[in-house]
Amino acid sequence: MSGTGFSKKLDVAANIATIVLVLAVAVLISRDKLTSIRGRSAPHPDAIHVGSALENTPLKSDWSSSQETLVLGLQTTCHFCTDSAPFLRHLIRSIPKEVRTVAVLPQSHESAKHYLDGLGIHVDSIQRASLAAVGITGTPTLLLVNNLGIVKNVWVGELDSNGQKSVLSELQGTQGAAEAPNTRRVRLNSKRPDDPARIVLVKEGDVDVTPGVRPYKSWEGKPFQADDDWVKNLTVTIKNLSNKEIVAASLNVYFPETGTGRGDSPVYGDVISLGRRPAMYARAGGTNSEKLQPEGTSAPLQILPGQQLTVSLAQYYPEIQQSVEQSRPMSNLTVCSIVLEGVFFSDGMMWAQGHEFKKPDPTSPGRYVDITADQFWGRTSSKSN
């Protein structure tokens, strides 16, 4: 009897051990799966694709109320969504009235509507939903859905000219609305009232291709026709709007079509350094005091208040081309973004894109501390830092 009891105890222990082992393996498999999904080392198993049915997703719509529905998967924090706004506005204006438009964002309805209204994107309805639950793994994403709630086509990311043509062609049923070959655009960084310097003119050869002025938003110019070497022919004019002398500046020339800017998909271009930053402060150290040396070998720009400087991209083109063609041929690119990233002044102050004002830190030569716009401009309402 005791032997039978001992045998039963062994059986129970063996069963418990088996259950524990199975659970441990399941946890490991689940963890590996989650790691794979989070790291994007493998395709997301639930990613939306042609043929996907939307009936079991959080996205709810009466698909049968229209022959087709265009779904815009966006996020208020996605700058690629913001940069795609000009095309999305054009797309919504161009598609047949029979095609419904639905925007889905993870943010609240109020935040989403405020964001879309600010971009001038007006859709038939706005829904709040988890993008991952819908199967949208990147933004912006466009979904073309039929009247049964089945996905007919998917476009992901900020689209180049070919991608835009594909969307227009699909929704209009014709290539006629697509832009002509060799269509190019220039995009500039946003404008703010206190900017001490700004790009005021961009020309391709003798043609003015400057985007229109749009406060607080990127400026995207109207399309123009140009040959494959159009970037080499661009000239950029910077104006000093401050009450100080500009001695150095940097231009970031990049091409949004070369990548998404996330993970292993960098955006290619080149940063152009102009002039020479000043040496303003000596290092403390008794007899070993040393003067900070000016940064760069070029002469200071010496752009006085109200003056302008015109920069030709031709002399920087070899470096730009070498960088960009790691991704794709320059001849295939249609959009060039030009950002005035930083400006340095003769008194040591600097301004950076993003509306940041700084001054040298006297306790740590070579470093800067933040200041307010009022402090930069010397306004009486400013507070000492």
Q: What is the pTM of this model?
A: 0.53
Range of the domain at 130: 63-172
User: Same domain for 286 and 224?
Assistant: yes
Note the pLDDT of residue 176: 38
Residues 6+ apart with CB under 8 A from 164: 87, 91, 178, 179
CA dihedral sign, ordered 27, 33, 38, 44: negative
With beta carbons less than 8 A apart as the criterion, state whether 214 and 187 touch. no
* Calpha distance 365→368 (Å, rounded): 8
Q: Which of 138, 172, 206 is the last residue of a domain?
A: 172
> Which helix or strand (DSSP H or E) is residue 71 part of?
strand 68-73
User: Structure tokens of 235?
Assistant: 């000239």
One domain, residues 189 and 114: no
Read off the amino acid at residue 177: A
Let me know if residue 23 belongs to a domain.
Answer: no
Do 259 and 355 sit in the same domain of this protein?
A: yes
What pLDDT shows up at residue 364?
Answer: 80
Same domain, 344 and 210: yes
User: Same domain, yes or no, for 166 and 293?
Assistant: no
Residue finishing a domain among 172, 196, 222 = 172
DSSP single-letter state for residue 135: T
Query: In which residue ranges of the chain is pLDDT below 70?
Result: 1-46, 173-181, 213-220, 280-297, 381-385
240/113 same-domain check = no
End residue of a domain, out of 172, 200, 228: 172
Whether 121 and 80 share a structural domain: yes
Q: Are 167 and 178 in contact (CB under 8 A)?
A: no
Same-domain check for residues 141 and 106: yes
Confirm whether 44 is domain-assigned.
Answer: no
- Output the pLDDT for position 39: 28
- Residues 153 and 188 occupy one common structural domain: no
Phi and psi at residue 376, in whole multiples of 5°? -60, -45
